[in-house]
Amino acid sequence: MKLLLDTHTAIWWINERKRLSPKVDSMLLDGANTRYLSIASAWEIAIKTSIGKFGGFAGGVDAFLAKMEEIPLSILPIAPRHLKIVETLPLIHRDPFDRLLVATAKAEGMTILTADENIGRYEVPSVW
């Protein structure tokens, strides 16, 4: 299964694994699954770090990306097909990063690992 980690899921996997649901923790550890992170998550951390609203990961975006390199996962770029889907999504969620994650998962046939209940309201597989 192709898994797309929400930003908070990636941070918690590194820093506060106990905050992950048992199901998500198991899915992340299952070698049969392929893990992905959108570059939008790193972008979100960079923005929140720059405005002083990010305390979830010491060291900002550089430290976050370094940790992501230690984990066997692939970082996905933002593609034009993702943006086309963002444009057509219903306005369930106002967070542009989460909307982009939903679009990415839809375009790439992925399941989003997220505690965000609003993401679960879209027609995209999500697990928590």
pLDDT tens-digit map of 19-37 = 999 999 999 999 999 999 9
Instruction: Please state, as a whole number, how many other Cβ atoms lie within 10 Å of the Cβ of residue 117.
Output: 10
70 pLDDT higher than 70: yes
Query: What is the rounded distance in angstroms from the CA atom of residue 70 to the CA atom of residue 93?
Result: 31
69 pLDDT higher than 90: no
Least confident of 15-19, 21-25, 50-54, 100-104: 50-54
Task: List C-alpha distances in Å: 81 to 23, 64, 78, 105, 107.
Answer: 30, 26, 8, 11, 7
The position carrying tokens 């649901």 is 21
Q: What are phi and psi of 96, to 5 degrees?
A: -65, -30
Q: What are phi and psi of 120, to 5 degrees?
A: -65, -15
The class level of CATH for 2-127 reads: alpha beta
55 pLDDT higher than 70: no
pTM of the model as a whole: 0.92
